[in-house]
Amino acid sequence: MKGKKVVSYFMAAVLMTGICGSVPAAEVHAEGDYEKVVYAFPSFNNIPTEESIASVEEAINEITREKINVEVDLMPLNIAEYTQQVTLALQGGEAVDCFMSLGDFNNCVSTGMAADITDLVDTYAPETRDLIGEEWMKTTTKEGAVYGFPTYKPVALTPMVVYKQKYVDELGIDMSKVNSIEDLTDVLRKVKEAYPDITPLVPVNSGETGIMQAAGDVDFLSDDYTSPKGVLMGESTEVVDFYSTDRFKELCSLTRTWYNEGLIMKDAATTTAAAAELMSADNSFCYVAAYSYPEADTAASLEAQCGNFELGAKIIGEAYLDTSSVNALTWMISSTSKVPEAALKFLNLTFTDKEVVNLIIYGIEGRDYVKDAEDFVSYPEGQDASTVPYTAQLSCGVLGNFFIMYPMAGTNKESLDWELEQNKAAKTSNAMGFSFNSSSVKTEYTAVANVVSQYLPGLQCGSVDPETELPKFIDALNSAGMGSIVSAKQEQLDTWMAENK
């Protein structure tokens, strides 16, 4: 008996200390006269050493001390670990003031990660608010409260087919006639006929053939496009189950035809390689994906990773903007931040101050990069991205304002205008600005997500027969609770529509 008591005493002690321990340690923010802001951003490059980061911070501080009375603490985190490390840091009560949603705006809001900054925006970041514009600010506003700024960059993703030029030339294929994913079939056939050993179409990723992005005007209503649930089709404002639509059925039979005729990679649903790797082999011809650059730029920029083949790109659909295309990358202030005003002031600079944003991206001029007369950036003689002390160059599409960053040498300044134009001209969903809060249907979401991952890759890659599998898929979805998700979405959408019309 006594033994049990010992154990329970231990447990009680444990719980007590547990409770005390979990109270977030109050971090001392103010150092000197300046408020300290921690800016956590994802980096695709090597994470620099503390010393190199400190030197960049010092250069930024020289600007920020004077302009906004703030000192910054840069926290570059590895992209693949970004979400987890930021989440843990916030749960642990550590000071992280500015962070990015990384595709998860709704989650950040519904779990209380992001602070409501409605009252602060007009005072501390009016320039950024104006830059983003009313239309886009709606995407980061939820139930009347503002939660952040979307990264300002080319967001209009246009579906394209990226192909190897030499086959097109040899076979005299006129790519300008290819204007939809359906038009692609004949091209694939021609290639297959002339070169039986070639796999004409390869997947973008394992189980992902790009058809979802080429599906046409679909608003995925806050879902990941790789696993959509309830969606809006075209002009309609009625939420529907994407997999029950005729469009999805057509796409499935299209890929099934490809599969049966050997036009698509046989193991597209399970391959370990992504498009870039597959394209760098000799036995592939094209893949379908969506990009935000003009055709020629896209092709040119992909050549290096695709085995240095000469590539071409052809747009096969129109860019379509929905809420997620804008707010996928939203900069937010953490709800636990002790200095939301200072954090917002700094965030404002990353959207408006050329020097600040370029320091974060490229580091210190001379040491980390060199710049020519026209502001084109390259690495110092004999150095590259992996050897300079500091660079976050690959994060250029993630931080603040893309359009005020120095371009890398070899890029094209005119493209920027095209991209800016696309942002404005792209077709926009009726529900632009609406975002879905899934917390009332979480249970159904998990079950449905499992069903989708079970059936979608096979259907999308044509490796299963839609005649028999699609009905099974739809049945499974319905018993997993797809209906509740659709009606929850519809309900929220109707409320939103009523408020915003």
Footprint (CB under 8 A) of another protein, residues 392-451? 394-398, 402, 438-439, 442-447, 449-450
CA–CA distance, 108 with 471 (Å, rounded to integer): 35
Strands 311-315, 158-164: pairing is antiparallel
Nearer to another protein, 148 or 154 (CB): 154
* Contact mark string toward another protein, 123..162, x via CB under 8 A: ------------------------------xx--x-----
Q: Which is nearer to another protein, 44 or 418 (CB)?
A: 44
Residues touching another protein: how many (CB under 8 A)?
118
Q: Which residue lies nearer to another protein by CB, 50 or 381?
A: 50
Contact pick of 68, 72, 275, 299 for another protein (by CB under 8 A): 275
**Alpha carbon 498 to chain centroid, angstroms:** 29
Cβ-contact 236, 216 below 8 angstroms: no
Nearest CA to 389 out of 359, 372, 369 is that of 369
Confirm or reject binding of residue 103 to another protein (CB under 8 A): yes
Give whichever of 68 and 76 is closer to another protein, judged by the CB atom: 76
Q: Which is nearer to another protein, 128 or 271 (CB)?
A: 271
Contact range with another protein by CB under 8 A, out of 100-108, 131-139, 180-188, 342-350: 100-108
CB of 488 to another protein, least distance (A): 14
CB of 375 to another protein, least distance (A): 19
- Residue placing its CB nearer to another protein in the complex, 63 or 307: 307
What's phi and psi for 164, nearest 5 deg?
Answer: -85, 125
Nearest to 168 by CA among 142, 134, 198: 198
Residue 287 · residue 201 · CB < 8 Å: yes
DSSP symbols for 232-283: EETT--S-EEGGGSHHHHHHHHHHHHHHHTT-B-TTTTT-S--HHHHHTSTT
Instruction: Tell me the window of 3-11, 249-257, 315-323, 355-363 that interacts with another protein (CB under 8 A).
Output: 3-11
Q: Among 349, 364, 350, which Cα is nearest to 396's? A: 350
- Picking from 293, 358, 352, 295, the residue whose alpha carbon sits closest to that of residue 155 is 293
**AA letter at 410:** G
Shortest separation between residue 386's beta carbon and another protein, angstroms: 5
H-run or E-run covering 161? strand 158-164
Measured from the CB atom, is 9 or 186 closer to another protein? 9
Which is closer to another protein, CB of 25 or CB of 171? 25
Tell me if 75 contacts another protein by CB under 8 A.
yes
**Dist. CA 298–CA 467, nearest whole Å:** 36
Sole window of 108-116, 132-140, 185-193, 491-499 interacting with another protein (rule: CB under 8 A): 108-116
- Each residue 319-348 as x (binds another protein by CB under 8 A) or -, in order, gives ---------xx----xxx------------
Report d(CA 460, CA 444) in Å as an integer: 23
Write the binding mask 359 to 398 for another protein: x where contact by CB under 8 A, - elsewhere.
--------------------------xxx------xxxxx
Closest distance between another protein and the C-beta of residue 364, in Å? 18
SS3 of residue 321 by DSSP: strand
Q: 154: helix, coil or strand?
A: coil
d(CA 501, CA 495): 10
Residues in the chain, overall count: 501
Q: Determine, following the binding rule CB under 8 A, whether residue 6 of this chain makes contact with another protein.
A: yes
Q: Is 471 in the site for another protein (CB under 8 A)?
A: no
Binding flag, residue 482, another protein (CB under 8 A) = no
81 binds another protein (CB under 8 A): yes
Considering only 9, 62, 92, 186, the residue that binds another protein (CB under 8 A) is: 92
Pick from 272, 311, 322: which is nearest to 289 by CA? Answer: 311
Measured from the CB of residue 58, what is the shortest distance to another protein in angstroms? 18
Give residues 281-320 in contact with another protein (rule: CB under 8 A). Answer: 281-283, 287, 289-292, 301-302, 304-305, 307
Rounded CA gap, 416 and 419, in Å? 5
Q: Which amino acid is located at 100 in the chain? A: M
Is position 55 an interface residue for another protein (rule: CB under 8 A)? Answer: no
Tokens of 190: 């021609």
The structure tokens listed for 43 are 């980096």
Could you say which of 28, 32, 33, 80 contacts another protein (CB under 8 A)? 80
- Name, in order, each residue with C-beta under 8 angstroms of 154's C-beta and a sequence gap of 6 or more: 292, 293, 397, 402, 419, 420, 422, 423
Say if CB 148 and CB 101 are below 8 A apart.
yes
By CB under 8 A, residue 19 contacts another protein:
yes
Instruction: In angstroms, give the least distance from the CB of 38 to another protein.
Output: 11
Binding mask 190-229 vs another protein (x if CB under 8 A, - otherwise)? --------------xxxxx--------------xxxxx--
462 touches another protein (CB under 8 A):
no
